[in-house]
A and B are shown apart, each in its own frame.
Chain A
């Protein structure tokens, strides 16, 4: 009973907050809020490969695309159950999207993870592009036009009181974010996750200590692409529209920026930078009103990133977590 109680209270809390946000904000702000979670999942999952396992992947958008397209295809080409059941149905679909993205991760990782550094980056980048170009040419998936009218999360009518689409979306997003966070967090506190770290630190030594480093890399890659697929599923539901143009190389770069900016191998760091990466471009969007229509957004955005990397090359958090940083400060001040 207790195991159910906490999530239930949490869900209720989210509902109340979501309803408040829903009333106080417009759909534009709401979408930004939802994308905080999409980007967080993208950043956390890439961090598993780039930050914790030390393999430089540049193809994250490819796996996000797989998840998004699987979700889009299933929910637009097959009937969606009406009412309350739609929510667990969407969760099941997103799970499937994650599994398929994970399978892609396995087949991409198997040959390419033998490569190191720049070579791996190039191959994964190539994979992302192959996915995008293939989707462009597959009429089943709408070709360059993509797939539209992807259903949103359902509204739920509780006899007069209506839980809005935004509220259910938020619950869906938080649900997967928490799972993603805990899976990665728990793994890293176990022997299985320590293998990932040893691969990052020194492959030759890890092998000499009996660790199958190829297997460890593939495992990390599969888990990472699974959650990338989940992020894609969320993306599809929240924007109601996917097209090959949504999953360009720039999306992979954004994910890498989140990892590097936050500090390779820091969960809280990645979450912080996911926040920055989501919100900063939006804040800068309004700048146009003051510059007479000239869009300085990308320039300022890039400058800000360069500045942070110069001032803190190890990322905002280094490889520390926010909790350990605080502890250190406390102990050094006493």
Chain B
């Protein structure tokens, strides 16, 4: 088997006395659609934060395309082609939908400050080019008629979609989706998952997603990692996860906790 696209090696994230993630290793192959699941507070978002440079792992390292990325700044990791969406939506609220998407293209912009100040051809050509590109992706996600709207005014589900569009605009090789369907109803969730499968093909993407809806994760993910209390307790194909005793216990345990 070829080298994995994402290689997480024995990472630990410690906040004071709390080990949010401990000794975690897993790999995602190029082109895969993988899932990261686990009860509330298991450490899933913390994993994403380590992968994208928001936190540097206390121990261990992360390699992307066989290059070490842990320790790099978030924008550097993003320009390696690893980007994400946020569980607690982080759009540029006061900016329009289109502006939100355009900003994500910045690392690819070639025109200089001078070009922008002089409004010359190379500026105008490239601005048109990236605007077209942004509109194209917005169209795929059904946001074409919202481009001039303030992003904070979009309904919740569309804000989540816009986060994905924005992330796609960075031209990623791999995208990390943190609960992309949170707050959506059943049919919205379903169509979003179809969309994710579609863009994976179209943009040649590798996807790792966090999701609470079990049926959904089982339905589309090829490989699943299960986290509990910061530790990986199981990994494998959906069939294996479904019948894993450890997984069932972890989830039942949480259910019992919640009923208090």
Question: B56 CB to closest chain A CB, in angstroms?
Answer: 14
**Any chain B CB within 8 A of the CB of A118?**
no
**Any chain B CB within 8 A of the CB of A205?**
yes
**Any chain B CB within 8 A of the CB of A57?**
no
A191 near B105 with CB under 8 A, answer yes
B104 near A210 with CB under 8 A, answer yes
B116 near A209 with CB under 8 A, answer no
Q: B99-123 toward A: CB 8 Å interface, digit per residue (1/0)?
A: 1001111110101010011010001
**Which 10 pairs from chain A and chain B are nearest by CB?**
A190-B116, A201-B92, A207-B74, A210-B78, A210-B107, A205-B90, A209-B104, A191-B109, A198-B103, A207-B75
**Any chain A CB within 8 A of the CB of B127?**
yes
Q: Count of chain A residues with Cβ under 8 Å from any Cβ of B?
A: 26
**Any chain B CB within 8 A of the CB of A319?**
yes
A187 near B102 with CB under 8 A, answer no
Question: B138 CB to closest chain A CB, in angstroms?
Answer: 15
Closest to A219 in B: B113
A197 near B74 with CB under 8 A, answer no
Name A172-196 residues within 8 Å CB distance of B: 182-183, 186-187, 189-195
Known: A204-B74, A209-B167, A210-B104. A194 touches B99 (CB 8 A): yes
Binds A, one of B3-11, B37-45, B79-87: B79-87
**A194, B166: Cα distance in complex, Å:** 14
User: Which residue of B90, B116, B130 contacts A204 across the interface (Cβ within 8 Å)?
Assistant: B90
Known: A191-B102, A191-B106. A213 touches B75 (CB 8 A): yes
B78 near A204 with CB under 8 A, answer no
**A201, B152: Cα distance in complex, Å:** 11
Known: A197-B92, A204-B90, A208-B84. A190 touches B111 (CB 8 A): yes
A201 near B93 with CB under 8 A, answer yes
**Any chain A CB within 8 A of the CB of B199?**
no
Q: Count of chain B residues with Cβ under 8 Å from any Cβ of A?
A: 37
**Any chain B CB within 8 A of the CB of A202?**
yes
Question: A265 CB to closest chain B CB, in angstroms?
Answer: 8
A212 near B127 with CB under 8 A, answer no
**A182, B86: Cα distance in complex, Å:** 36
**A187, B116: Cα distance in complex, Å:** 6
Known: A209-B167, A211-B107. A194 touches B102 (CB 8 A): yes
User: Which residue of A186, A194, A201 contacts B106 across the interface (Cβ within 8 Å)?
Assistant: A194
Which of A183, A189, A198 has the most CB atoms of chain B within a 10 A radius of its CB?
Answer: A198
Closest to B106 in A: A191
**A75, B107: Cα distance in complex, Å:** 43
**Any chain A CB within 8 A of the CB of B54?**
yes
Closest to B89 in A: A205
B75 near A195 with CB under 8 A, answer no
Which of A189, A190, A206, A210 has the most CB atoms of chain B within a 10 A radius of its CB?
Answer: A210
Query: For residue A195, which residues in chain B have a CB less than 8 angstroms away from its CB?
Result: 103, 106
B116 near A202 with CB under 8 A, answer no
What are 21 sample pairs from A and B whose C-beta atoms fall under 8 A apart? A186-B117, A187-B113, A187-B116, A191-B109, A191-B127, A192-B113, A193-B116, A194-B99, A195-B103, A198-B92, A201-B92, A201-B93, A204-B74, A206-B75, A206-B92, A206-B103, A208-B78, A208-B90, A209-B83, A210-B79, A213-B75
Known: A186-B116, A197-B95, A207-B73; 20 extra A-B contacts, CB below 8 A, are A186-B119, A189-B116, A190-B123, A191-B130, A192-B106, A192-B116, A197-B103, A198-B95, A201-B94, A202-B92, A207-B53, A208-B54, A208-B74, A208-B83, A209-B167, A209-B170, A210-B79, A210-B104, A211-B107, A212-B75
Closest to B123 in A: A190
Question: A207 CB to closest chain B CB, in angstroms?
Answer: 4
Query: For residue A186, which residues in chain B have a CB less than 8 angstroms away from its CB?
Result: 116-117, 119
Which residues in A have some Cβ–Cβ distance to B below 8 Å? Answer: 182-183, 186-187, 189-195, 197-198, 201-202, 204-213, 319
**Any chain A CB within 8 A of the CB of B12?**
no
Closest to A206 in B: B103
Query: For residue A213, which residues in chain B have a CB less than 8 angstroms away from its CB?
Result: 75
**A293, B200: Cα distance in complex, Å:** 77
**A43, B180: Cα distance in complex, Å:** 42
Query: For residue B170, which residues in chain A have a CB less than 8 angstroms away from its CB?
Result: 209-210
**A194, B250: Cα distance in complex, Å:** 45
Closest to A195 in B: B106
**A202, B78: Cα distance in complex, Å:** 16
Query: For residue B206, which residues in chain A have a CB less than 8 angstroms away from its CB?
Result: none
A211 near B102 with CB under 8 A, answer no
Question: A168 CB to closest chain B CB, in angstroms?
Answer: 26
**A202, B151: Cα distance in complex, Å:** 13
B92 near A205 with CB under 8 A, answer yes
Closest to B92 in A: A201
**Any chain A CB within 8 A of the CB of B52?**
yes
B119 near A210 with CB under 8 A, answer no
Name B45-103 residues within 8 Å CB distance of A: 52-54, 73-75, 78-79, 83-84, 86, 90-95, 99, 102-103
Query: For residue A187, which residues in chain B have a CB less than 8 angstroms away from its CB?
Result: 113, 116-117
Query: For residue B95, which residues in chain A have a CB less than 8 angstroms away from its CB?
Result: 197-198, 201
B75 near A204 with CB under 8 A, answer no
